[in-house]
Chain A
């Protein structure tokens, strides 16, 4: 899975990044790279056992939800 995500990151980075670089849109390039980096880190983190943000949300709010809902 991690290889697939790495490949997708690379493909999106090249497909979106090259036109942005040519047009000189540096801010857009940085924002896009940050999001791609986040996607890759999430996948890599999962691989080495880090919880995803959704798991953290579950740990935080599920007890409240279980107290309210059946």
Chain B
């Protein structure tokens, strides 16, 4: 196994939570509000439920194939060639998500904090730091998240409570004014972002208690749903759906509302801290998962030499594929959900069904 590190259940929870926190800090809440309007918070609830259901499948597969992640058990189930063809889709998906996360981070920093700095400089810095962390291995990333995760969770919850004076609960009414369709279509839209937590399948073989895989994902997704739900709901009640759906980072705009006399202001710097920290750690996890997946598929002894090249590919994709923030938002809104549903749900359910039908099991 190219990765020798071992993590505990608590670290696994925070590793997964930080991925969702990075998504919540960017433009995803506004895309959800555009889709589901006032019912966006219900879509978050629906996505949480469906993701927990999906976690049961991932946790079961983790126990059925002990010591193997989905890249490895796709080979065990489908054989050497077909298994590799399916297995490579997971690392490639992680690289795609890493590209999206870093581009989103670069865009927010460039728009809101460093407008005179070329975005390529921000992207290069972010990728360099992410690759540096990813190369150190899962234990280093896990220890970072164990410190940063609780801080971020408390910070986002506190931020949301501090904007209560600007909230107008009447903006949440009427619910279902356009029927249930917006809520139903909004659910898979946010589910595909919670679904990045399929990373759990890479972590389960490395945890000291693989049987706690479901507990880890359940806790992480529950906390993630609270964070995304709070940001989405407060964006609606503070700005109204018309304004909230056009914001690039509603969470950032919420933090700008906080102003208590002269002693508590410019809180958006705290939000910037959460945004940068969570996105960098999330992308380092994704680069790590990409490197490890490719190393396992090609039978390498170590994955570290693949992290910097992976980051370079992701950087090139960022620069050539998303020349503007509009193209990035369009990709996230229309293309990414279809690709993500295919990988996160479709592929895993096919592997699950194939394992049951072919009576395949891992060896202890």
Q: Which residues of A contact B (CB under 8 A)?
A: 1, 5, 8-9, 12, 15-16, 20, 25, 27-29, 31-32, 35-36, 38-39, 42-43, 46, 52-55, 57-58, 61-62, 64-66, 68-70
Which residues on B sit within 8 Å (CB–CB) of A16? Answer: 305, 308-309
B320 contacts A43, C-beta separation under 8 Å: yes
Residues of A within 8 A of B99 (CB): 54
- Given A12-B309, A25-B302, A31-B306, answer yes or no on A61-B338 (Cβ-Cβ < 8 Å): yes
Shortest Cβ gap from A43 to chain B (Å): 5
Between A5, A29, A54, A55, the greatest number of chain B beta carbons within 10 A of the residue's beta carbon is seen for: A54
Q: Give the distance to chain A from B217, nearest Cβ to Cβ, in Å.
A: 26
Decide yes or no whether B317 CB sits under 8 A from chain A: yes
- Please, which residues of chain A bring their CB within 8 A of the CB of B302? 25, 28
Chain B residues whose CB sits within 8 angstroms of the CB of A8 once the complex forms: 312, 315
Which residues in B have their C-beta under 8 angstroms from that of A35?
294, 306, 309-310, 312-313
The smallest C-beta distance from A46 to any residue of chain B, in angstroms, reads 4
| Chain B neighbourhood of A66, CB < 8 A | 334
Main secondary structure of the interface of B (DSSP, over half): helix
Asked if B301 is an interface residue, CB under 8 A from chain A, the answer is yes
Range of interface residues on B (Cβ < 8 Å): 35 or more
Question: Can you list 13 A-B contacts (CB < 8 A)?
Answer: A5-B312, A8-B315, A12-B308, A12-B309, A27-B299, A28-B300, A28-B301, A31-B298, A61-B338, A62-B330, A65-B338, A69-B333, A70-B182
Known: A15-B308, A31-B298, A57-B335; 7 extra A-B contacts, CB below 8 A, are A16-B309, A20-B305, A25-B305, A28-B300, A31-B294, A69-B189, A69-B333
Cβ of B321 < 8 Å from any Cβ of A?
A: yes
* Chain A nearest CB, measured from B103 CB (Å): 10
Separation of A8 and B167 alpha carbons in the complex (Å): 48
Q: How far is the CA of A54 from the CA of B100 in the complex (A)?
A: 11
Interface residue? B337 (CB, 8 A): yes
> Nearest A residue to B333 by beta-carbon distance?
A69
Contact partners of B96 in chain A: CB under 8 A: 54
Which A residues lie within 8 Å of B300 (CB)? 25, 27-28, 31
Contacts of B120 in A (CB 8 A): 1
Query: Could you tell me the distance between the alpha carbons of A28 and B309 in the complex, rounded to whole angstroms?
Result: 12
- Known contacts A28-B305, A31-B298; A69/B334 CB under 8 A: yes
Q: Which residues 295-345 of B have a CB within 8 angstroms of A? A: 295, 298-302, 305-306, 308-310, 312-313, 315-317, 319-322, 330-331, 333-335, 337-339
Q: Are A53 and B317 in contact (CB under 8 A)?
A: yes
Given contacts A31-B294, A46-B320, A55-B321, contact A39 B305 (CB under 8 A): no
Q: In the complex, what residue of chain A is closest to B322 when comparing beta carbons? A: A54
| In the bound complex, CA of A68 to CA of B189 (Å) | 10
Verify if B204 is at the interface (C-beta below 8 Å from A). no
Could you say which residues of chain B place their CB within 8 Å of the CB of A36?
Answer: 309, 312
The 8 A CB mask of B82-97 against A (1 = contact, 0 = none) is: 0000000000000010
Minimum C-beta distance from B333 to chain A (A): 6
Question: Contact: B189 with A9, CB < 8 Å?
Answer: no
Contact (Cβ within 8 A) B337 A39: no
The chain B residue sitting closest to A11, CB to CB, is B308
Q: Knowing A31-B298, A43-B320 are in contact, say whether A62-B334 is a contact too (CB < 8 A).
A: yes
Nearest neighbor of A12 in chain B, beta-carbon distance: B308
- Distance A52 CA – B35 CA, assembled complex (angstroms): 28
Contact between B334 and A39 (Cβ–Cβ < 8 Å)? no
Q: Would A42 and B313 count as touching, CB distance under 8 A?
A: yes
Closest 3 pairs (CB-CB, A-B)? A65-B334, A35-B309, A54-B321
CB pair B312–A61 under 8 Å, yes or no, is no
Q: Are B317 and A54 interface neighbours, CB within 8 A?
A: yes
Q: Does B252 contact A (CB under 8 A)?
A: no
Complex contacts, A31 vs chain B, CB 8 Å: 294-295, 298, 300, 305-306
